[in-house]
Chain A
Amino acid sequence: MIEVRELTKRYADRTVLEGVSATFSKGEVVALLGPSGGGKSTLLRCLNGLESFDSGTVRVGEHSLEPGRARTAQLWSIRRRVGFVFQQWHLFAHRTALGNVIEAPVHVKGLSMKEATERARELLAKVGMSHREGAYPSEMSGGEQQRVAIARALAMEPEVLLMDEPTSALDPERVGELVALLERLRAEGLTMVTVTHEMRFAQALASRVLVLHGGHIIEEGAPAEVLSNPRHERTRAFLGLGQAA
């Protein structure tokens, strides 16, 4: 599904990703773990071209991204297949919940307003937001905004859903609801890659975890294995620090 090869990303004074290679297969749910500054959010943002990189390749299906400024046609086709849910959701502030979900299907995919609205209502029902379809983002709680953001991403019928720290702005009881929602999506066969540093979340959802540290993948495996019996001392240190990281 997504293949990352020898990905290197540098900022002026430091290297954020150094020769990272990874494969994300269809139907897989992968959690990217690691301490802050380890490169996991940057890796996620490289997967749909929100971030450029210095060397290596990212391949999504038959499309690929090269270092430097991406060719826009490639970029658009990749983004239409890869959904992204931001840490702060970034719902369109001038549109209602329904308007947010309709926007891209109508203006990017060219769906009719009627068809897009029907589909959007189904998706809002799926994420449990039917009763709030007329609300503006400023009128919604964090959890509600997140669910609308997920519906907005799903409206483009992506093959992969990327999520950046989906639990970081949620109350603990809301995390349970999110897990339940994502489990339903997993059951439907959606491929998901999520950045998180919440172990419970990773354990509940992921079929595989990757631990990033200092721009490298230092450990990889099934969640139960990596979390209970980490091989790398950095992983141990990271898990020992737990959520404070």
Chain B
Amino acid sequence: MSAEPPPRTRRSSSLPSGYLALAALALLVSCGGKEGSALERVRQAGVLRWGADAQGGEPYAMEDPEHPGQYRGFEVELADALGRELGVRAEFVQNDWSSLIPTLERGGSFDIAMNGVEITPARAGRVLLSRPYYLFSLRLMARRDDSSVTGLESLRGRRVGTLSNSQAWDLLLSSGAQAIPYEGVQEPYIDLEQGRLDAVLMDDIIAQRYGMTRPGLQVVGDVGEGYYAIAVRPGEEELRRALDEALDRIARSGELRALFRRWGIDGAAQQRMVEWTEAQTREVLAETRTTRLGWSQLVLFLQAALVTLLVSVGAMALAIPLGMALALGRLYGPRWLGGMTTAYVELLRGTPVLLQLYVLYFGLASVLRLDPLSAAILGLGLNYAAYEAEVYRAGILAVPKGQLEAALALGMSGPLALRRVVIPQAFRVALPGVTNDFIALLKDSSLVSVISVVELTKRMTITAVDVRSWLVPGALCAALYLGMSYPLSRLARRLEAKLERA
């Protein structure tokens, strides 16, 4: 998810870094040197490797449930047809959708990216795009009982879900809507149904499969259209031309629409794909745009850092008292309470926090409808309470038994003795652990982007894809994290030094 390091395909990540450096060097040489060698390379290897994300699901490309390791979808069939036309075998390479283009650019382990890649000015400015192979509409959906969503104009300032860095994303931003980024195609419709979003704008293929099947939602209308095309590395013009010609042949022969029909995504409009001309390709690819990192992005970064800080501080403010209650329950409570707190700690500590966030936000949505920020704070807070409980328990156990006895001998009640004598001393022991946890939490807070909270890391990935560089946004992101965590650890160290004396 967004917490992962900058994109890298599964294959290249398994290679030793030395090989990776060599491969990068080789790529630099090949890019700068002879043009058009990509097609030869594909032909010589006898395989056209195409990058896509099986998580994108139906009908694009997905893992065949009956034959694990094999893939199906209209793009899988199209890739096979393209391979046949080029005289090679097509091979699927899994890659996160949001990083398909950056991975292709930096010479990942696939030759082309084909996975609902839309023709946008930003993409046309970064990579080579083939002629389109599918015409889609941007479909706006809202709740059936909400008549206030009537079209693009009605979305100004409202929460609209979509995939980040998509054509719909750009359209929403330019029309003044509050675009909420998602990583999957199902979650935005769940949130729309739950009332956490006002509308969802997605490609019609997605809307048809994931949105229109929900009885509580309705189609407001199609507010734009666009094309899916194949992305090819810059400089590999010859490969692109070969793909264009192959697509032409597949479209003209009727095979393309037959394929669309099989997957239930054909329509009269797709005839334009059959009659498509080179002049039209030039026209749709004419507009290119390169975004640069500017002040406006810096402001967005700072806002995102504030969200990170808010989520972390909020979660810790919940984790500290809850963790203390858990630790006390486990140490001093009756047997049944001790058992329950132990179970809580083991459950929350032993399962991924990502899973807990999903369950809290999507899984329990029908009984507990939390907005994303509250769910993020609650989810991380509940999770970190389990860690805090153990830190405090260790701290309390480290306080000599005589301290409690001395307090009791002076006539203090158990709770008073804990509050006045044991816990303050336990806190001293626990402080380095608590600081450690808070800094870990600051970074773990990037996980909440899966429930559509745009925090620092998510902002970084969105911007990095936009400006086609991971270096500057990455460095900025790192600096902001450090800017938050370093003063905190300094403060903790000073506090420790102060307590050291006692």
Binding site for B on A (CB under 8 A): 48, 50, 72, 76, 79-80, 83-84, 86, 88, 90-95, 103-104, 107-108, 136, 138, 152-153, 156
Contact = CB atoms under 8 A, between A and B. Distances in A.
Contact of B410 (A72, A88, A95, A103): A103
Given A90-B406, A92-B407, 13 more contacts: A50-B409, A80-B411, A83-B409, A86-B409, A92-B421, A92-B425, A93-B502, A94-B424, A104-B412, A108-B410, A136-B502, A138-B502, A153-B410
B413 A48 contact: no
Contacts of B421: 92, 94, 103
Interface residues of B, number: 21
A65 to B, nearest CB: 14
B502 A95 contact: yes
Nearest to B406: A90
B241 interface: no
Contacts of A86: 402, 405-406, 409
A88 B409 CA distance: 14
B425 A94 contact: yes
Interface string B409-432: 111110010001100110010000
Contacts of B411: 76, 79-80, 104, 108, 156
Interface string B169-184: 0000000000000000
Nearest to A92: B421
Interface in B24-54: none
Contact of A72 (B413, B420, B501): B413
A50 B410 contact: no
A164 B402 CA distance: 13
Nearest to B404: A90
A78 to B, nearest CB: 9
Contacts of B405: 50, 86, 90
A83 B410 CA distance: 7
List the 4 closest A-B pairs by CB distance, nearest first. A90-B402, A90-B406, A104-B410, A80-B411
Nearest to A72: B413
Contacts of B499: 94
A84 B405 CA distance: 10
A90 B401 CA distance: 9
A245 B400 CA distance: 27
Contacts of B424: 94
B409 A84 contact: yes
A92 B400 CA distance: 10
Chain B contact residues: over half helix, strand or loop, or mixed? Answer: helix
A80 B408 CA distance: 10
Contact of B412 (A50, A94, A108, A152): A108
Contacts of A88: 402
Contacts of B277: none
A92 B502 CA distance: 9
Contact of A50 (B408, B416, B425, B428): B408
B374 interface: no
20 contacts: A50-B405, A50-B408, A50-B409, A76-B413, A79-B409, A79-B410, A84-B406, A86-B406, A86-B409, A90-B400, A90-B402, A92-B406, A92-B421, A92-B425, A94-B428, A103-B420, A104-B411, A104-B412, A107-B412, A108-B412
Given A90-B405, A92-B403, A107-B420, A156 B502 contact: no
A104 B421 CA distance: 11
Nearest to B403: A90
A79 B406 CA distance: 11
B402 to A, nearest CB: 4
A43 to B, nearest CB: 15
Given A90-B400, A92-B421, A79 B408 contact: yes
Nearest to A137: B502
Contacts of B409: 48, 50, 79, 83-84, 86, 153
B449 to A, nearest CB: 41
A138 to B, nearest CB: 7
A39 B502 CA distance: 35
Contacts of A153: 409-410
A72 B428 CA distance: 30
Interface in B484-502: 499, 501-502
Nearest to A85: B409
Contacts of B416: 107-108
Nearest to A84: B409
B406 A94 contact: no
Contacts of B408: 50, 79
Nearest to B412: A108
A91 to B, nearest CB: 7
Nearest to A105: B410
